[in-house]
Amino acid sequence: MSSETAETRGISPDRAWWLRVPAVFLSPRSVFFALREDDPDDIAARSEPVLFLVLLSGMAAVLATPTAGGLLDNPEYDALLVAVWAFIAGGIYGAVGYFVLGLALHFGTRLLGSQGSFRRERQLLAFASAPLAVSLLVLLPARLALYGGDTFRKSGPDEGAGESVLLALQLGFVAWSAALLVLGVKVVHGWGWLRALGSLAAGVALLAAFAGVFLTL
């Protein structure tokens, strides 16, 4: 739905894009198709929903790290400080992922003939990350309900079959985001599945090359 269509229905571009955050789970094609709109007001209206998704995705990612799993082993940390750490570290993780992965996506799509902007590829990545963002709201409360403070300690009852199930669910949300990313590239660029997958493969190859160079330094 373009910004013009939103206005004719009495919905501002800002509201329309906030409504597309939950809509990406129900009608992802329509959301990704809307990213093709190049009206400046429509593009600007995406900024807050994109920031919201990037922040939640970054927090979900950082809370899945081993570092987060041992925060309360440090006596200087309490629940409030863990929350502050998750917010700040998640913001950093999200911002870095938004630009680095967005750059890799832009490289891959340009390599296969896209004329789209870097900004649009980043916004596509942000909306594709919606399942990862939601995983924070689903899995963190589940972990806290099951394990309490042991969620942020290296040893305890959170190491076992229950944690394996939660990890599998986390990977499921990641896979869901990856599938949405492929669909998004296909819809935004009007490509076939093979070309969309090829662009993502090129982006992954770029990241692997940079990682290889970094590891040799």
DSSP labels, 111-160: HTT----HHHHHHHHHHHTHHHHHHHHHHHHHHHHHHGGGGGSSSSTTSS
In the predicted structure, residue 201 carries a pLDDT above the cut 70 = yes
Angle of the 161-189 helix axis to the 193-216 helix axis, nearest 10: 120
Average pLDDT, the chain: 91
Q: Are 14 and 48 in contact (CB under 8 A)?
A: yes
State how many domains the chain has.
1
- Produce one character per residue of 186-217: b if its CB has 16 or more CB atoms within 10 Å, e if not: bbbbebeeebbebbbebbeebbeeeeeeeeee
In the predicted structure, residue 70 carries a pLDDT above the cut 80 = yes
In the predicted structure, residue 190 carries a pLDDT above the cut 50 = yes
- Domain extent for 203: 3-216
Please classify residue 150 by burial: count the beta carbons closer than 10 Å to its beta carbon, then call 0-12 exposed, 13-18 middle and 19+ buried: middle
In the predicted structure, residue 7 carries a pLDDT above the cut 70 = no
User: Which residue is it, tokens 């570290």?
Assistant: 89
In the predicted structure, residue 146 carries a pLDDT above the cut 90 = no
